[in-house]
Amino acid sequence: MASEKNNIIVGLDIGTTKICVIVGQLAENGKINILGVGKASSQGGVSRGMVANVNKVVSAIEEAVKEAEKVTQIKINTVYVGIAGHHIKSIQHRGTLTRRNGEEEILAEELQGLESEMENLALSPGLEILHVLPQDYKIDGEDGIRDPIGRIGVRVECNYHIITGETSRAKTIGRAVHNAGLKVADLVVEPVASSSAVLSDPEREAGVALVDIGGGTTDVCVFENGYIIHTAIIPIGGDRITKDLQEAFGILKDQAEEVKIKYGNCVPSETMRNEVVVIPGLPGRQSKEISLYAIAQVIKARMEDIIQRVDFEIQTSGIADKLNGGLVLTGGGSGLKDVSQLFAFYTALDVHIGSPGRYLGRGMIDEVRNPMYSTAIGLVMLGIEEEIKIGCEFEPNKPISESTPENEEVVLEGEVFEKQEEQKPTQKPSWKPTIYSSIGGFFKGLVMDDSDDFIKN
């Protein structure tokens, strides 16, 4: 098992605008040391969070992995991969276990069996269960029980949050990763990963909505009493704002992206009317002067569209009036100026930006504190939880050269890491597990063609 070797976990975020690989290792203090990062443009191979061109995505994955391997000197074999897209849906379901002897203590194996039953729910053709997330339990009519293990009772009930996705979309991701020479340890729905990296336990307990604004999608995850109760993926993200600017002012895509990042604002003000940005014209054509006010108007219009859809999902969750933890924004789109102010105005919630910094130890932490890395960091965290719990059946990620002397110091990105002894699977992370069960199990039940042997059953 990889966790018995070195606890080196790799998260692969296949985003609409970029492919990101993050290599992390569980440190002795329970935090994550970031050993390396690799990035590459998605090259148009991903649309609205879903793989649209396998060859382009394969090329981008290989580029990002190569960069990460160069920095870390670690051979990457296995990755935890994020999955997104508007095909991701969530439902609530209640499971019931009737025990023969109510005087015996409830065992973890019994709860796992009940959870396994949820994975056999009848779904529409073409859909598969990605996550089964247990919430609160009820024992013989007593509800609100978090951990029933060790208690006694005859009838055990549990509410489950079940996240589904299209089988074909998952297969496409698996094929792209396989063609890039990697194995998929598991698929993780992206807002689940992001929430693990960004939210604190008190926020989850208080009730909070996480909104991850990515390049092609905006992901929503709503928590109540520490549990996920609603998940949704909206097929609009930051790249739509870029396209709006491109179309509104007749400029190139790269120019529109630069305008958005450098001069964009979600809240137009009168002082912006007299400020302009000059955009170089095409060869033989004049430059264009665009007011910051006009730029902000375009951005605000699209962001209002996103906010309206986010608010709909929050209302759908049924606890819009119970979000004492407010709304937490993350993802690359959360970097737009005054985006928090606009969300707060329309949702009437307390809004702040969430970054994946609280669980990081050493290494390249200054770079990955940016909200755009929330999903990738979350994938590493959940991968560590999973491998500590049940291990990994694939070849572990390990140093390219294992000839380093026992006490030699390894220098990574300007920081010194003492070469540690092999870490034991009893080592615990500094955060509480957020999934409780196998984070996916999706691939274990996925039926592939004979030629699709990249999944080890």
Q: What is the pLDDT of residue 401?
A: 67
DSSP symbols for 185-214: EEEEEHHHHHHHHH--HHHHHH-EEEEEE-
Tens-digit pLDDT profile for residues 334-355: 999 999 999 999 999 999 999 9
- Which residue, of 354, 385, 413, is where some domain finishes? 354
Report CA-CA distances (Å) from 107 to 97, 117, 432: 12, 16, 21
Q: How confident is the model at residue 367 (pLDDT cuts 50, 70, 90)?
A: confident
Strand pairing class (208-213; 327-330):
parallel
Query: Do residue 363 and residue 429 come from a single domain?
Result: yes
- Do both 258 and 363 map to the same domain? no
Side chain identity, residue 408: E
Q: Which of 139, 162, 185 is the last residue of a domain?
A: 162
Assigned domain for 348 exists: yes
> What does the pLDDT average to over 14-41?
93
175 with 60, same domain? yes
Q: Can you point out the beta strands (E) in 149-182? A: 155-166
Domain identity same for 314 and 422: no
Residue 366 counted as domain residue: yes
CB 340 within 8 A of CB 353: yes
Looking at residue 451, its pLDDT comes to 39
Residue 392 to residue 82: CA distance in whole angstroms: 17
- Per-residue confidence at 402, pLDDT binned at 50, 70, 90? low
Q: Which residues pair with 351 in a beta bridge?
A: 327
448 within some domain: no
Same domain, 187 and 213: no
CB 361, CB 32: distance < 8 Å: yes
| 311 and 433 share one domain | no
Residues 193, 385 contacting (CB under 8 angstroms)? no
In this structure, are strands 351-353 and 327-330 parallel, antiparallel, or unpaired?
parallel
Q: Residue 188 maps to which CATH number?
A: 3.30.420.40
Residues 385 and 427 both lie in one domain: yes
The reply to whether 169 and 155 lie within a common domain is no
Computed on alpha carbons and rounded to an integer, the radius of gyration of the chain in Å comes to: 23
Q: What pLDDT is stored for residue 433 in this prediction?
A: 61
Residue 228 has pLDDT above 70, yes or no: yes
pLDDT, one tens digit per residue, over 43-68 is 999 998 999 999 999 999 999 999 99
Looking at the domain assignment, is residue 455 inside a domain? no
Same domain, yes or no: 195 and 64 = yes
* pLDDT recorded at residue 206: 96
SS3 helix, strand, coil % of the chain, rounded to 5?
35, 30, 35
> 192 in a domain, yes or no?
yes
pLDDT reading at 443 higher than 60: no
pLDDT tens per residue across span 70-126 = 999 999 999 999 999 999 999 999 999 999 999 999 999 999 999 999 988 999 999
Q: Which residue has the higher pLDDT, 453 or 364?
A: 364
CA distance readout (Å), 166 to 125, 128, 215, 216: 9, 6, 21, 18
Q: State which of 354, 385, 408 marks the end of a domain.
A: 354
- Distance (Å, rounded) from C-alpha 212 to C-alpha 197? 12
Give the C-alpha separation, 161 to 139, whole Å. Answer: 19
Which of 33-37, 173-177, 280-284, 373-377 is predicted least confidently? 280-284
Domain that holds residue 389: 1-91+163-199+358-443
User: Do residues 178 and 316 both lie within one domain?
Assistant: no
How far out from the chain centre does Cα 392 lie?
A: 20
In a domain, 35, yes or no: yes
Q: What is the DSSP letter of 292?
A: H
Pair 293, 320 in one domain: yes
pLDDT greater than 60 at residue 426? no
Task: List strands edge to edge, sheet with 18-26.
Answer: 183-189, 78-83, 8-14, 18-26, 32-41, 360-363
CA–CA gap between residue 345 and residue 179 (Å, rounded): 46
Buried b (16+ CB within 10 A) or exposed e, 62-75: bbbbebbbebbebe
> Does residue 35 sit in the same domain as residue 184?
yes
- For the chain, the domain total comes to 3
Residue 456 lies in a domain: no
**What backbone torsions phi and psi does residue 80 show, to the nearest 5 degrees?**
-100, 125
Residue 23 CA to residue 39 CA, distance in Å, equals 12
Q: Mean pLDDT across the chain, nearest whole number?
A: 87
451: in domain: no
Strand arrangement, sheet containing 155-166: 89-98, 155-166, 127-139, 142-145
